[in-house]
Amino acid sequence: MELKIEDGNVPTIDVSGEIDHFVCPQLNDKIDELAAKSSKLMLDFSNVSYLDSAGVAAVISAIQQISLTGGSVVLIADHPDVVHILDLVGLTSDIKGFRLVAERDEALNILEAS
């Protein structure tokens, strides 16, 4: 897993590779860091090919932390396996303060409008 942080107008964690329980502590640390500073967070998983339960827990943690401030989390994911896992755990349904999208431009539009 590789992490790239963009701490601009819309704080973004750009992840590539595989997200599993071995690398999730690093992801969780970055989520905690950005959630403490902003009520908006973009998680770009468009280059993620594998997501396990620890990765799902990291996404849920981000939603919980950001929702405490009334903010929004937008997750970008389009890999069929990743979207399937997110669907199995209910993260493709309507959740207050959370959106799953397939493209970065759509994510930016959502977060900039909120």
pLDDT at 12: 95
Q: Give CATH for domain 2-108.
A: 3.30.750.24
| Domain residue limits, the chain | 2-108
Q: Name the pairing type of β-strands 2-6 and 12-19.
A: antiparallel
Per-residue pLDDT, averaged over 57-67, amounts to 96
**How far apart are alpha carbons 53 and 10 in whole angstroms?**
26
Number of H helices, E strands in the chain: 4, 5
- Predicted confidence (pLDDT) per residue in 68-101, tens digit: 999 999 999 999 999 999 999 999 988 999 999 9
Degrees, nearest 5: CA angle 36-39-83:
100
Structure token digits, residue 63: 């939603």
Would the pLDDT of 64 be above 80? yes
Supply the pLDDT for residue 3: 82
| pLDDT over 80 (residue 7) | no
pLDDT for residue 18 is more than 90:
yes
Round to whole Å and give the CA distance between 40 and 19: 22
- The arithmetic mean of pLDDT across residues 52-74, rounded, is 95
